[in-house]
Amino acid sequence: MIQKVISKRRLTVFFIVLFLIFILCIPFHTAVVFEKEGNILSFFPIKEGETFQIRYIHSIHLSEVRETYKIIKNHQFQQTELMYEDTSIGMPAHAEKNEKFIMKDGKYYITGMKKVFQNIQMSTSRVVISHELIFKGKICPLENVIPPGTIVKIHVKRLSLLQLCKGVNMIGK
């Protein structure tokens, strides 16, 4: 009789431990992840349909650039807008088909963009340290989590609770 009670307790404990491992290790939280050589440097939780921006100072003409991205199906980014202050080297001088090129308050905007990316390769500057993430009204300087001069891969990925707990959440939620 005592043996059966002990066996039931062991079996119950085993299933509880198995359930906890399952909950901790199965990736089900969607996040934008900043990786270097496969190592997660930082992330922020996001949902499909939400947008974020990356703002930086262009290293050649030293003016502000802001790229807007939306998370779409299949863990992809869709660039929806580009804002910049100077049309010189490295910046578009016109909009592509079905996009709009607007000048407003001394800045150039390309809106209606539908460029889709699986990931974004970004190099943070050593000279002009200025990259920032803008998400839900919060501004996060990337140099707080990504060393200057680092090339990172930005992509959408599902993370487990364990990864969320041990990683650096840029937004802090």
Which tens digits make up the pLDDT trace of 105-153?
Answer: 999 999 999 999 999 999 887 766 789 999 999 999 998 888 888 999 9
CA 87, 91, 93, 94 torsion-angle sign: negative
What pLDDT was estimated at residue 172? 65
What pLDDT was estimated at residue 62? 83
| pTM score of the predicted model | 0.84
43: which DSSP letter?
E
Cβ neighbors of 30 (< 8 A, separation 6 or more) are: 45, 46, 47, 48, 71, 75, 156, 157, 158, 159
Contact of 32 with 71, CB cutoff 8 Å: yes
Mean pLDDT of 51-67: 90
